[in-house]
Amino acid sequence: MLAVAQAFEDAGAEVVLAGGGPGSRFIEHNGYEVFRAAPVDYIGDYQQGSLYRVLTRSLPYSAKRVVDLVRWLRREDPAALVTDDMFGAMAASLTGTPLYVVTHNAASFYDAAVEQVFTWLLNRYQLRTAESFLYPAVWPPDEGDPPGVTHVPPIALDPEGCPPPENDIEVLVVPSVYSTNFDVLAETLRTEGHDVTLVGDDRWEAVPALLPWIRAADVVVCSGYSTVMEAAVGGTSCVVYPFTDEQHGVTRVLERRGVRGFQVEHSVAHVARAVRHPPENPGHENGVERIADHVLADLT
């Protein structure tokens, strides 16, 4: 979403940002102020906790997040809200703010009935309340996509003046919030003779954007869809090692559609084997300008 915000700025629009949670530090590292609404973590509370934890933590914090975002929208009075946040969508409805949803989430990604039903209802709500539901995908239109979405190319943060790494990178390993064993994976790859850069380890220094590092790598290993999109835009072959239900759902689409540039593996040993023989490079345009142009055309 920071990439989308910068695309609006490049088109001459003024933006203000809201969020909360781990991503806020990254946004501030890029020089922006961000309004921090109450954080909510359904994925962590359900997949790494229990339904009881969802009821006692996620639900109460959900109400607080909506209230926080309603107050923020009333204070800022923007021409539109562009968001991947379901609570932001609810706040936009309550304040009458024109809404544009940007997310790849779909009910078809999930196996658990409760997640399927919740995401199906969420997608229907987003489609009903938004001016447009923009769907950034590295795959062509698919039967599992929510009906009625507008496909756009994958999106990636590519700010001007962000220096690339000083040296080429052989293997870039990018864990997500919920991935595990990536330190073991990195050491396994090193014992096989690979030069490995592990994002977030003690030797890693924070950077404004990861895309220059992905472009400099021979192959990237990741779990999350944001990095999948960055690899697609950066033209770097990618081995996807999923952990969450959503990540497994994404990889099923990648495999079913045979998306060039991506290979899915489910163990450290299989990831190591794939790194030895990575897939061919992908090639996608960056969809951020497409999103900014779509919204601004609607508002003028």
Six-digit token string for 229: 């999109």
Six-digit token string for 134: 């923009």
Say yes or no to pLDDT of 51 above 80: no
For residues 96, 98, 103, 104, the Cα torsion angle rounded to the nearest 10 degrees is 100
Q: In what order do the strands lie in the sheet containing 99-102?
A: 81-83, 99-102, 132-136, 150-152
In this predicted structure, what is the pLDDT of residue 167?
87
pLDDT in tens, 156-166: 999 877 788 98
Which helix (H) or strand (E) is 128 found in, with range?
helix 113-129
Strands 169-174 and 150-152: unpaired
Rounded mean pLDDT, 85-101: 96
**More reliable by pLDDT, 115 or 279:** 279
SS3 of 12, please?
A: coil
**Going along the chain, which residue ranges are E strands?**
17-19, 34-36, 81-83, 99-102, 132-136, 150-152, 169-174, 196-198, 217-222, 237-240, 262-264
Q: Which of 19-33, 50-64, 79-93, 165-179 has the lowest mean pLDDT?
A: 50-64
Say yes or no to pLDDT of 73 above 60: yes
End-to-end Cα, the chain, rounded Å: 22
d(CA 105, CA 113): 16
pLDDT in tens, 266-298: 999 999 999 999 999 999 999 999 999 999 999
On whether the CB atoms of residues 138 and 229 are closer than 8 A, the answer is: yes
Rounded mean pLDDT, 77-106: 96
Q: In the structure, what pLDDT confidence band is assigned to residue 42 with cuts at 50, 70 and 90?
A: low
Q: What pTM does this model have?
A: 0.90
pLDDT in tens, 204-249: 988 889 999 999 999 999 999 999 999 999 999 999 999 999 999 9
On whether the CB atoms of residues 35 and 89 are closer than 8 A, the answer is: no
